[in-house]
Structure 1
Amino acid sequence: MKNFIPCIVGAVIGYITNWLAIKMLFRPYEEKRIFGIKVPFTPGLIPKEKQRIAKSVSEAIANHLLSKDTIVKALCSPNIYSHIYNMVETKIKGIYSSTKSFKVLMEENLGFAEKNLDGINEYIYEGVLNNLNDDVKDKIVKEIYNLIEKELNKKPLIIDSISKEENIEKLSRIVYNYGSSNEFHQNVKEKINKKLGELIYTEKSIKEVMPKNMVEIVDDFIYENRDKITSEILHLLEEPNTKVKIKVAISEGIGTNVSPLVAMFLNPETLYNKFLSFSKEYLKEDENKKQICVVIRDYIDKLMEGNVSEIIKSVEYSKIEIIIDRLVNNLQSNVISMELIREGIYGIKHKILDHNSIDEVLLRFNPTYKENLYGVLKRFVYEVVDGDRTKTIIKEGIYRITSVTMDRPISSLIKVDEDIVIKISNTYIKGVYDKFIQKQASDVIEILNIEKIVEDNINSFEVDFAEEVIVGIAHKELKAITWIGALLGGLIGLVTPFLYL
Structure 2
Amino acid sequence: METLVMIVVMAAVGSLIGGVTNSLAIRMLFRPFQPAYIGNLRLPFTPGLIPKRRHEMAEQIGKMVVTHLLTPESLRQKLKKSDFHDSLQNWLAEEVSTFLHQSSTLRDIAEKTAGRKLHLEDKGRVYAKRSMDEWLEKNKNKPLQDVIPDAVTAKGDHLIPVFAARITAKGADYFRGDEGALQLERLLNKFLQGKGSMMNFLGSMFGSDRIVEKLQPEIVRFLEDDTSKKFVENMLQQEWTKWKQKPLSSIQSYIDTNTVSSELVSFLIRELPALEYLDRPLSEWAPSYKDVIAGRWLPAAVGRIQSFLIDRLPGLLERLNLDEVVTEQVNTFSVERLEEMVLSISRREFKMITYLGAVLGGIVGLFQGVIVVLFSIG
CA distance, structure 1, for counterparts of residue 186 and residue 123 of structure 2: 62
CA distance, structure 1, for counterparts of residue 58 and residue 68 of structure 2: 15
CA distance, structure 1, for counterparts of residue 314 and residue 112 of structure 2: 35
1:304–1:95 CA distance, 2 compared to 1 (3 A):
same
Alignment pair present for 1:422 and 2:276: no
1:407–1:376 CA distance, 2 compared to 1 (3 A):
farther
Alignment pair present for 1:123 and 2:109: no
- 2:340 is aligned to 468
- 1:47 is aligned to 51
- 1:24 is aligned to 28
- 2:366 is aligned to 494
Measured after TM superposition, the shift of residue 10 of structure 1 is: 1.9
- 1:479 is aligned to 351
CA distance, structure 2, for counterparts of residue 420 and residue 39 of structure 1: 72
CA distance, structure 1, for counterparts of residue 151 and residue 59 of structure 2: 68
Structure 1 residue corresponding to 2:331, chosen from 459, 475, 492: 459
CA distance, structure 1, for counterparts of residue 41 and residue 27 of structure 2: 22
- 1:181 is aligned to 167
TM-score, length basis structure 1: 0.51
Alignment pair present for 1:11 and 2:15: yes
Structure 1 residue corresponding to 2:266, chosen from 386, 396, 403: 396
Say which is worse superposed, 115-124 or 387-396, in terms of deviation: 387-396
Q: Please, which runs of 5 or more residues in structure 1 have no aligned partner? A: 153-173, 186-228, 237-291, 313-326, 345-361
Kindly indicate whether the alpha-carbon contact (under 8 Å) linking 1:81 and 1:430 is maintained by their aligned counterparts in 2. yes
Aligned-partner SS, 2:29: helix
CA distance, structure 2, for counterparts of residue 335 and residue 491 of structure 1: 138
CA RMSD, Structure 1 to Structure 2 (Å): 5.1
Aligned-partner SS, 1:28: coil
Kindly indicate whether the alpha-carbon contact (under 8 Å) linking 1:101 and 1:410 is maintained by their aligned counterparts in 2. yes
CA distance, structure 1, for counterparts of residue 24 and residue 170 of structure 2: 118
Aligned-partner SS, 1:55: helix
CA distance, structure 2, for counterparts of residue 179 and residue 463 of structure 1: 97
TM-score, length basis structure 2: 0.64
Aligned-partner SS, 2:47: coil
Summarize the alignment of residues 62-73 of structure 1 with structure 2, pairs less than 5 Å apart: 62-71=66-75, 73=77
Count of residue correspondences: 333
Kindly indicate whether the alpha-carbon contact (under 8 Å) linking 2:124 and 2:265 is maintained by their aligned counterparts in 1. no
User: Which letter does structure 2 place at the counterpart of 1:90?
Assistant: E
Q: Please, which runs of 5 or more residues in structure 2 have no aligned partner? A: 197-211
CA distance, structure 2, for counterparts of residue 391 and residue 40 of structure 1: 80
Measured after TM superposition, the shift of residue 368 of structure 1 is: 11
1:103–1:56 CA distance, 2 compared to 1 (3 A):
closer
Task: Give CA deviations for 1:407-464 in whole Å, capped at 9, x if unaligned.
Answer: 4455888798542333443255435534652465433432332222322333333333
1:476–1:365 CA distance, 2 compared to 1 (3 A):
same
1:111–1:88 CA distance, 2 compared to 1 (3 A):
farther
Measured after TM superposition, the shift of residue 15 of structure 1 is: 1.0
Aligned-partner SS, 1:25: coil
The percentage of counterpart residues that share the same residue type is 22
Measured after TM superposition, the shift of residue 19 of structure 1 is: 1.3
CA distance, structure 1, for counterparts of residue 27 and residue 233 of structure 2: 106
Summarize the alignment of residues 111-190 of structure 1 with structure 2, pairs less than 5 Å apart: 111=115, 113=117, 115-124=119-128, 126-127=130-131, 137-142=148-153, 144=155, 180-181=166-167
Kindly indicate whether the alpha-carbon contact (under 8 Å) linking 2:128 and 2:261 is maintained by their aligned counterparts in 1. no
1:123–1:72 CA distance, 2 compared to 1 (3 A):
farther
Aligned-partner SS, 2:33: coil
Measured after TM superposition, the shift of residue 391 of structure 1 is: 6.0
